[in-house]
Every structure is written in C-alpha cells, then in structure tokens.
Structure 1
Amino acid sequence: MSNMPVTDTIAHALMQLVDDSNNAGAYREPSHADIEFHVNLAGLAQYDPKQQGQLIGKAKRVRAVLYTTMDSNQAAASRFATGLLAKVRACGGFREASPNFVGREAIENAKAAFDMEGFVLADDGSLSPKVLTSLRGIELTDALAAYARRAQKGADDAALIAGTGKDLIEATAAHVLETLQGHYPTSSNFQALLGMAFIALELAVPEIPEQPGEPPVKALERGLFLSALGVNRVRNKQGTGHGRPWLPTLSDEETRAAIEIVGTVSAYLLAKLARRERRGSRN
C-alpha cells in the first residue's frame, strides 16, 4: 500500500504498534535495526534521533521521525510508515499466536486512526483505501472529508477516488445532491454537476451575476467554482486510476496547486453540507 496518509493520530498509532516498553520486559520485533532499515530506505536518516547519537526507545524513535517529516516531506514519511507497517505484519504483529503480537488495543487504535483518513486496516494488517462507492450518508461524508484533508496537504492520490478514477470534487458534488435531493444526474458533465451542487448549497456561481449588496464571500465562491473547472481541465482523463493523474505538461508546483484546490473546494462543499444538515436537524 503506497501513499499511506501520515497524520498525528496515525503516527501515534504506528508508534503503539512497535512499542514493547510495557511488554513485561519481553522483546518484540521489529528491532531497532529493522526500523533503521526503513528509515534509511525512505531517505530520512537525518531525522532519526538514534542515528544522531541519542539513546531512545523504538516507539519514541518512530514518533520522532514521523512527527518531524509528516508536514515537510509527506511522501517520505509515507514510505517509512508503509515499510514499517509491512514489517510489523511480516513478523507476526497482527497474529495473536505470534510472540510479536502487538495486542488487540493497539490494533483497534490503528484501525480507528486509518478509518478517520479514509483507509481500512484489516485484522491481518493489510491496508487499503475505503471503497467509497459502497458508502452512504454520514460515512461517505466522513470519508470524502478525509480525502479532502489529504488533498489540501498535497497528497496526489487523494485527488482521485481510489479504484474509480472519479475526481474528488465530482464525487463530493454527487454526494451533496444525493444528500439534499435524493439523487443526482449521472449523465451530467463535470461543470453541470458542480453547478447543481453549488446551487443546492445556495452558493454563488459565475452564471448568476453579482447582486447588489451581496456578501463578499460570494466572490470567493465564484472563484472556487472557476478554480474547480480549471483543475478539471488539467486532469489526465486517459490516465485516471493508473499512473500520473495530471497532464504531463504540468510542473510540480502546478500539480501541487491543482491537488490543493481539489481539497479546498471539496472541503468547502462538505462543510456547507454539514451546516445545512445541522440546520435541518434543529428545525
């Protein structure tokens, strides 16, 4: 599983998976040497306190590496976390009969942490993105919000819904209409679908002219709409689901901006949907 999300909660969960300090003095793999191997494989040796001469336990070592890098170098932090999880799984960390079993509480905590980010951690330690097409209601809202948070941080794979090739904004717009109106037109193009979602949420779109005395935020909403259309135009429609999901002519900074816009627009729509639902529950 590549592109594992790394957040505060996930870093803490992974730290628990390697922590044997409360194991009644019994040693448990992975070893410090195993951790060092995956740190170096991810190119993060300079952030490893043990390799800088500090005496430190395995859990604190993992936490230090992840907390130092998850914001500045999410891709490398993800590579390290992915390798570490694979090692825990390979040495029997998820098998109760194994001497390296990490414990049910640590596994359940890790499951909950990944669930919050739109991923499923199975009992055997395998990790996969949630199949969002199987979710409905608040579960889908939460999963889309997790993708949006990751896209806002520049996570390339978060901009497309895993396994479907569907744009995150498109999926969010469809969810908005499904929630508020009970259905959405499956044959509509991206612009039409997004426009219907904006209007359903009472947001401004460029096709509706500015009204006298309207709040300044309406200009922001029109800008978000146009930005979403721009992002859709630079999508690699032939490459969704496999390979680079953006046109090869885009520079790294342009790609990152596009991903972050996907996250921002999706997060805004979901926040407005949540407000509508809260308002409806009070009436």
Structure 2
Amino acid sequence: MSEYVIETTKLTKRYGSQASVSEVDMHVKKGRIYGLLGRNGAGKTTTMKMLLRLTTPTSGKVRILGKDMQKNSENILPQIGSLIESPGFYPNLTATENLRIFAELRGIKNRRCIQEALALVGLPYRDKKLFSQYSLGMKQRLAIALAVMHNPDLLILDEPINGLDPIGIAEIRSFIRELCDIQGKTILISSHILSEIALLADDIGIIHNGVLLEEGSLAELEQKNHRYVHFEVSDSSKAAQIAAGVLHTNNFEICDHHNLKLLGANLPVGLLNRAFIQNGLEVSEAHLCVDTLEDYFKRVTGGEGLA
C-alpha cells in the first residue's frame, strides 16, 4: 500500500492555450501536514479543486487514499473535509442552524458532531448571533468547523487563516496541528503566508506559475538554506579582498559599501575580525545568519517573496 494519501501524476489544467497548472507530481504522506506555498494566482486553488473533482483536469492522474479519484470519487469524497473559498452559509441563520442544514445534506445522523466541531474552532453552540453578524475571522472558523464536522481522514484547506487576527491565527494553527498529531489526520494546506507554514507544516511544496518547483520535508528545505556570516565594516570592498586572502575563496557577496556576506557556517570569524582590524578596518557587527523560508522561496522562484 502506498505511503501517500494524495499522489498526483502530471496533473494539468489548461484554459485554452493557457496552462493554469502544469504536470504537477505531488506526494502527501499519511499523518502529516503538507504546506502548498505559492503567490496568489500560482495554481494552488486550481490544484486543490482538481483533487476534489470541483474542476476536471485536462490531463494527469489523481490518487487519494490509495484509489483513483476519477473512478472512485463517490467513495473517496465522504472521507475528505475541505475548505475551498467561502462556503455558502445562510446569512439569516446561526452557526448551529447552518451546520444542521449541511449535516442533513450529508446524511449525518449524529448531531453531536455539530457541537463538537464548533467547540473545536471556539464558536458557541447555543448562540443567537446570525452568520451575517459574524466577523471575517468568525466566518473562517465556521468554514473550518464545516470541514471537520464529519470527522474526515483527509483535510484539504485553501488559505484557512485568511482574515484571522494574530490570536486567531495562533489558535487555528494549534488546532490544525492537533488534528494531525492527536487525531492522526492528513492535512493539505495552502497559503501565501510563509512564516505560518514554516511553523505548521511537516512537508512543503512550492508552486510557481502552475509548476511545482520543489517538494520535500521542511527539514530538508532548511538544510538547503544558505548559512553565512554577516559583517558590517567601514569598507566592504577592502574587507572582501582581505577575506579572499585569508580564506582563499571568493565565496562572498558585497551588499553595499559597509555590508559583506561570507557564505558558510563554519568560518573563522575571530580570525577574520582580527585581520580586518589589523588592516585598518572598523568592524561594527559580525554574526551568523541563516536564510528564512522566505529567502529560500525567492531563490527557488527567481523573484520576490510573498505578500
């Protein structure tokens, strides 16, 4: 049996001659959180819609829970909880009333699941506030409650922290992590907020212009991050010449007149510091730095970071 809960092969979606998603090979492992990273318009939502059969792929294959999605969607979909864009809640009903309607449509007999789902996302069960009176953050919480109400094995969440304040983001992050760690659910989550994915995900996929550029565990990606020593000196060009003589390498970057980056984590910082001072340079700062996930994203996509 495959170790992957989601596995795609050359998954592609075209609109005319334009490829929105191009030959994506994605691998989401059981019991882990997979973060799909990309700018707005990169293809994240289209990919998730194809996984859920909300839009038909132009070509390629999707296997979910070990089965071909095209042939077994009726059996697979009830085992998936999803949040894609905004669910169609009734504005004149309460949260509980809205979830009761969805439970009825799904044939869910155990109505206790509604109370449990609301409790999980911090919304009251017996509350007279209407959906139309909810803040954006509360609406997002209710959407997540809908996704988990039927206790699915797999969750597919598109930008689930949109509209939440910092406290709400931390709470939802903790909740999603608990769903994975304690309840054993597999979660595919998309976002353009790299800092949050770095705190949450076990595995990362970077999608750019519809192409999955890279995929791997967060630990593996962190190993690829550049490590460097940053020096702030009175003359960075002169410092670079001195460093080249001491280290016998040109593996450095002159940022501006006063700032120099020397790539590598095990550099003789003390020796370089003395050499700079002995040659008449003033050293204001020297410390080890590690690229962030944002820096890595920029490097992989060849452009700017995410908004």
TM-score (norm 1): 0.28
Which one has the bigger helix percentage? 1
Q: Tell which has more relative contact order, 1 or 2 (C-alpha 8 A, sep 6+).
A: 2
Which one has the bigger strand percentage? 2
When Rg is computed on C-alpha atoms for both structures, the one with the higher figure is 2
TM-score (norm 2): 0.27
